[in-house]
Amino acid sequence: MPNDPPSTPLVAMGRRGFLLTAWPWRAVGYLLSTVPVVVTAGVPPALLGLPLLSAVAPDAALGERVFLAVLGALLVSGLGPMAAIPLARLERSRLRLVDARPTGSGHRRPPGRGVGPWLRTRYTESATWRELGYLLLLAVAVPVLYTALLSALIFQLGALAAPLILLGGDGPMALGPVKAATPAAALPYAIAALVLLPAVPYLLALVAGAQAALARALLQRGSGERLQAELVEVARSRARLVDAFEAERRRIERDLHDGAQQRLLSLTLKLGLAQVDLPPDSSAAHSVADAHQDAKRLMIELRELVHGIHPRVLTDRGLVAAMGELADRSPLAVTVEADLPGRPPGHVESTAYFVAAEALTNAAKHSGADRAGMVARWDAGLLTLEITDDGAGGADPGRGTGLTGLADRVAVIDGRLLVSSPAGGPTLIRVELPCDPNDPSSR
């Protein structure tokens, strides 16, 4: 926003009253503090790069040059990151002088404790090599840039003081490409230096802002890395939501099974006993009989509802037993073939079951099929489920939300759903679910 306070010198330079703000002084502080950093940072590259310097010696043999060049490259790439990482941490802290925006490290957290995991992580991530590039750039380019900047400032200061110096007769005096022997000859240069004096803070802010922008680009987490980290966090939060949803389904199923269903069963038994105690032809007996039948129908509906929320057989005995129960309850003749070395993680097992249940229901309702088959395999970290039927085919996600809903449910756990349903059949629904056998949630 135009009225927001500037976050960098480059932005502040375009605002009114720049010279009256703290930004010129912050730029000076950043530039002055860079000098000891560059002196310190230049030592490791200089030492590690000695073989490279020796390789360009005119009296060195070709084989010796190649050896020294390879040795220097190995030293810089092997040991350079150890100097670049602490320097980058210092530079991110120092960046606050001229950049009000937060700056985060691009390093990943090692997968374990100890030196080994730390080294493997650091040497395999791009942030480390960007920091090494920044170290080399700082050691090579900053001395040249600062020398040019200091020369320009010394020239301007000399031009301002030239008339006073020449009054004492210490002439002639070199002012760049020209020489001034008298105060009158040096006066135009002094006036020009005086007019350009307000531009000095802008020049310093420009150099500091450009250096800070380079440091931010190389030392903070890149946009691609930020996006990757955000996607990882989204995937983790999605997995947590899936687990929480499945846990809530199990809780609802347990509460209905152990609470409402048991009380309804008790009510049904009491109505049955009351019916026995009443005269068979009385109106009260007919009313109690109707209530008894209603209670039994409600029992069946509640049992189906509980089973649809989360079948107990899936929790107790696993996917293979639950698929067998689906086959027994289906109006189609269903064959089941399952080759599972163990129990998959709970969210994978639940997704596979409900996809199979929905696919069999759709086949029974819409395809006109007589037979169906279910095949489940778990190999190389992938649980594959195939549901086939001999119906009329023509299943199209565009004509309803059934297949689309299945695809969405599978996509939640990074799986995919493939459908082959030509007109005239048969229909094949294939589900592929990532399923790591080493997952701690595998049972």
β-strand partners of 178: 175
| Mean of all residue pLDDT scores within the chain | 77
pLDDT, tens digit, for every residue of 112-138? Answer: 778 888 788 888 888 888 888 888 888
Residue type, 355: V
Question: What is the rounded distance in angstroms from the CA atom of residue 33 to the CA atom of residue 44?
Answer: 19
Q: Would the pLDDT of 217 be above 60?
A: yes
Question: What is the rounded distance in angstroms from the CA atom of residue 46 to the CA atom of residue 93?
Answer: 24
Give the position of tokens 């039994």. Answer: 296
What three-state secondary structure class fits 178? strand
All structural domains of the chain with their residue ranges: 9-219, 241-309, 317-434
pLDDT, tens digit, for every residue of 149-206? Answer: 998 898 888 888 888 888 876 667 777 777 877 888 888 888 888 888 889 999 999 9
* pTM more than 0.85: no
Hey, what CATH class is 317-434 in? alpha beta
Question: What is the rounded distance in angstroms from the CA atom of residue 98 to the CA atom of residue 108?
Answer: 26
Contacts of 284 (CB under 8 A, 6+ apart): 278
pLDDT, tens digit, for every residue of 40-97? Answer: 877 777 676 666 656 555 665 666 666 666 666 777 777 778 888 888 888 888 888 9
Contacts by residues 151-158 (CB-CB < 8 Å, ≥ 24 positions apart): 152/203, 153/200, 156/193, 156/196, 156/197, 156/200, 157/193
Question: What is the rounded distance in angstroms from the CA atom of residue 260 to the CA atom of residue 299?
Answer: 10
